[in-house]
Amino acid sequence: MKMADKSESSTNSDTPTNQDELILAQQRKIQQEISDTIPLVGPLDQISSLESEYSTDTIYLAKIKDLSSKYKSIRRTRPDGNCFFRAFGYAYIEKLLDDKEQFSLFYDLVEKSKNSLVALGFPQFTVEDFYDTFMEVLKRINDIDDASDAKKELHNLFNEQGYSDYMVVYLRLLTSGQLQKEQIFYSFFIDGERTVADFCHQEVEPMYKESDHIHIMGACSVLLTGVRVVYMDRGGNTSVTEHNIPQDRLTPDVYLLYRPGHYDILYL
């Protein structure tokens, strides 16, 4: 009798959870359908192209005007939760291609980074594929003499999902490693009782997790660069707000436009 009860009620108790999973699966599918129509990294567009997204919103239109007085163009990225890392990686490498010397310093830094990650406790075995892909991309563009051809190749590789996603994973791992290495400092930026390691395992290392200020700090710090984030939302006045990371670095290598939930690349 007891067994009969069991099998009957457990069928019932499974139903609501299965529903939840179905809803999650559907949400994922819808998000995927939206994001698949947008290239991983798009072409250069005029800042004014943003206007069509906000044609009836006077606050945004005023801010776009302000933005276009400071920046010349925008390059959109796919809103899949990886946009910060994809935009950051693309824009930084693109900038380095204008300066062979800087590029080769960066190359050396990344080349040595796998051992640092392994020393921090990352399993060599699972880090390797992402590292190898990152190095392969750097090698391929480094082998091209002409900077504008190299940039074209960078653009192609960043739009090939296999390469692009593995680049993103490796940037996530480097960032995670940096946060954990400096965990006392970064623990002040984490709400609640999570440790820096827990935060990294849950918010930095997994794909599709959106990035916050702390991710940008970690990424800039490990790759010795600076980012300027230009915030554009419906709050405040008619101008966009700019913020340098790290704060004391006044000449950033990368400019990103942040609209709530999403990063795109900006060009001066």
Partner 1 sequence: MAGSAVRRLLAEYKQLTLNPPEGIIAGPIDEDNFFEWEALITGPEGTCFEGGVFPAKLIFPRDYPLSPPKMQFTCEMFHPNIYSDGRVCISILHAPGDDPMGYESSAERWSPVQSVEKILLSVVSMLAEPNDESGANVDAAKMWRENRDEFNKIAERIVRRTLGIPA
Instruction: Give me the torsion for CA of 233, 52, 211, 67, rounded to 10°.
Output: -60
How many of the other CB atoms lie within 10 Å of CB of 17?
9
Q: Is 262 a catalytic residue?
A: yes
| Active-site residue, from 45, 83, 146, 243 | 83
Nearer to partner 1, 108 or 129 (CB): 129
Nearer to partner 1, 88 or 130 (CB): 130
| Active-site residue, from 215, 220, 262, 264 | 262
Which long-range contacts does 191-196 make (Cβ < 8 Å, 24+ apart)?
none
For residue 7, state whether it binds partner 1 (rule: CB under 8 A). Answer: yes
Rounded-to-integer distance, Cα 102 and Cα 87, Å: 19
* DSSP, res 194: -
For residue 198, state whether it binds partner 1 (rule: CB under 8 A). Answer: yes
For residue 14, state whether it binds partner 1 (rule: CB under 8 A). Answer: yes
Give the list of residues 6+ apart from residue 69 with CB closer than 8 angstroms, or none.
none
Rounded-to-integer distance, Cα 137 and Cα 165, Å: 12
Nearer to partner 1, 43 or 162 (CB): 162
Q: Helix 161-181 to helix 213-223 angle, to the nearest 10 degrees? A: 90
Host H or E run for residue 264: strand 262-267
Contact residue for partner 1 among 53, 98, 129, 149 (CB under 8 A) = 129
Task: Tell me which residues in 16-45 interact with partner 1 (CB under 8 A).
Answer: 17, 20-21, 24, 28
Task: Tell me which residues in 107-126 interact with partner 1 (CB under 8 A).
Answer: 122-123, 125-126
Helices and strands in the chain, H and E counts: 10, 6
How many of the other CB atoms lie within 10 Å of CB of 103?
19
Q: Is 200 a catalytic residue?
A: no
Q: Is 80 a catalytic residue?
A: yes
For residue 187, state whether it binds partner 1 (rule: CB under 8 A). Answer: no
Contact residue for partner 1 among 119, 207, 224, 246 (CB under 8 A) = 207
For residue 202, state whether it binds partner 1 (rule: CB under 8 A). Answer: yes
Give the footprint of partner 1 on this chain (CB under 8 A): 2, 5-7, 9-11, 13-14, 17, 20-21, 24, 28, 122-123, 125-127, 129-130, 133, 161-162, 165-166, 169, 173, 192-194, 198, 201-203, 205-209
Which amino acids are annotated catalytic? 80, 83, 262
